[in-house]
Amino acid sequence: FVAGLRAGFQFNTFPTMAGALIPPGMGGDSMLAALTSNPVTVQFLHRWLELAVVAAALLHWLRFRRHPGLASATRWLAGLALAQFALGILTMLRLPASPVFWGTAHQFGALALLTAALAVLFRASDSSPSTPAPASGIRATSSAAHSGG
């Protein structure tokens, strides 16, 4: 939505937008309209979503940095989230000078971040125990219990 609405051209400052953390002009006739067609709202949410992504990536890295199967993947995830955040700021500050270059670089950063998130997900599912837990309500029993011995 940011690129399609040219929302990046609205406010080329960081961290504030029009000198405020919550900029004037947000909202719209309906919630859906504000989320999809108001460039001020879209850019505001884009900024805060990235902060949430960076926080989540850093928390995952802190939680799993010593895990043998996830340490490397979460390190990449955290590093790429920080790089994408920095690239987003650079894109916003440099956008008027070269919008295609910076916009494309930011899109490729998003693709790299998504790839890293999928790698963490894949490694997390791969590092789970190989023997599945019994379904709820079903008790695991040994063969000795059935034979009476």
The confidence score (pLDDT) of residue 139 equals 54
The average confidence (pLDDT) of the chain is 80
Q: What is the C-alpha separation between 44 and 34, in angstroms, rounded? A: 11
The confidence score (pLDDT) of residue 30 equals 74
Q: What is the pLDDT of residues 25-51, one digit of tens each?
A: 777 777 776 677 778 888 888 888 899
pTM, entire model: 0.74
With 60 as the cut, is the pLDDT of residue 8 above it? Answer: yes
The confidence score (pLDDT) of residue 131 equals 46
Residue 9: partners with Cβ closer than 8 Å, 6 or more residues away = 95, 96, 99
C-alpha distances (whole Å) from 55 to each of 9, 49, 140 are: 26, 10, 40
Q: What is the pLDDT of residues 108-123, one digit of tens each?
A: 999 999 999 999 999 9
